[in-house]
């Protein structure tokens, strides 16, 4: 019986991720792929929920995030080293039917590095530590500060005239956007995206913002403070 226990323990050790061996500085680089969708600031939600304080949190339970899939909310998962490693390996195998647009990280060393970074970066007070000069052992405090914002977008409250939308007309397949500098720009209807941002960095009410997008200058976003402003601003006129 003793020999059987030893064999089982040895097999478990081989199968378990080597969480302690993860390198946080390498994990910081791995997090660059996560930062466009996930912030490390408490309750700053983006495409996905904030990761601040994720250890010990029940999956699908952050009150400030409203876009969880039913599959994740009903999974009963508590996030810890083991469950997060499984999620990062293959979220769709772990929770079928979830909405995570991510295929997983198959390299166990890369996952261990990312977990080592997140374990420190998501602790309470980690954001303040980073702002005061970077986490111990994390290196580049400036890079860390940027990551704490999770791809933080600039404020749209005070805009230069070229980005202040004054009028939008629509004719056939073309939008024409007039800005406060007096210029009118034409966009093919599939190249202009209409968005809303009701957060603290969003535009002022009735003052939508024009944000360039794409490398050729032929695409842009118009961001409104509320959805009802969209129909009020766009005039169908040729």
Task: Express each pLDDT in 49-90 by its tens digit.
Answer: 999 999 999 999 999 998 899 999 999 999 999 999 999 999
Instruction: Give the global pTM.
Output: 0.65
pLDDT tier for residue 217 given thresholds of 50, 70 and 90: confident
Coil/strand/helix, residue 58: strand
Q: Are residues 142 and 180 in the same domain?
A: no
Side by side, the strands of the sheet bearing 209-213 are: 192-196, 219-224, 209-213
Q: Are residues 40 and 135 in the same domain?
A: yes
Q: Where are the beta strands (DSSP E) in 92-180?
A: 165-171, 174-179
Looking at the predicted structure, is the pLDDT value of residue 214 above 90?
A: no
Domain span including residue 175 = 161-236
Q: Are residues 98 and 205 in the same domain?
A: no
Q: What are the tokens at 35?
A: 């930062």
Looking at the predicted structure, is the pLDDT value of residue 28 above 70?
A: yes
Do the domain assignments include residue 70? yes
Do the domain assignments include residue 178? yes
Span 169-188, pLDDT tens digits: 999 999 999 999 999 999 99
Do the domain assignments include residue 36? yes
Do the domain assignments include residue 156? no
Q: Are residues 42 and 70 in the same domain?
A: yes
């Amino acid at each position: 019986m003793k020999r059987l226990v030893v064999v089982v323990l040895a097999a478990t050790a081989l199968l378990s991720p080597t969480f302690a061996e993860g390198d946080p500085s390498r994990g910081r680089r791995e997090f660059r792929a996560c930062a466009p969708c996930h912030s490390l600031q408490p309750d700053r939600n983006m495409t996905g929920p904030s990761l601040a304080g994720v250890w010990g949190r029940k999956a699908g339970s952050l009150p400030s995030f409203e876009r969880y899939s039913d599959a994740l909310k009903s999974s009963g998962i508590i996030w810890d080293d083991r469950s997060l490693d499984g999620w990062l390996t293959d979220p769709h195998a772990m929770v079928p039917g979830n909405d995570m647009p991510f295929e997983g990280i198959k390299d166990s060393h890369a996952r261990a590095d990312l977990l080592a970074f997140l374990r420190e970066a998501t602790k309470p007070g980690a954001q303040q530590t980073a702002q005061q000069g970077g986490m111990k052992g994390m290196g580049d405090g400036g890079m860390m500060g940027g990551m704490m914002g999770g791809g933080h977008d600039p404020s749209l409250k005070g805009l230069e005239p070229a980005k202040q939308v004054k009028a939008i007309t629509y004719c056939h397949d073309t939008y024409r956007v007039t800005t406060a500098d007096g210029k009118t720009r034409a966009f093919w209807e599939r190249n202009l995206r209409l968005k809303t941002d009701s957060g603290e960095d969003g535009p002022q009410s009735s003052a939508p913002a024009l944000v360039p997008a794409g490398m050729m200058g032929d695409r842009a976003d118009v961001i409104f403070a509320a959805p009802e402003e969209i129909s009020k601003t766009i005039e169908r006129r040729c």
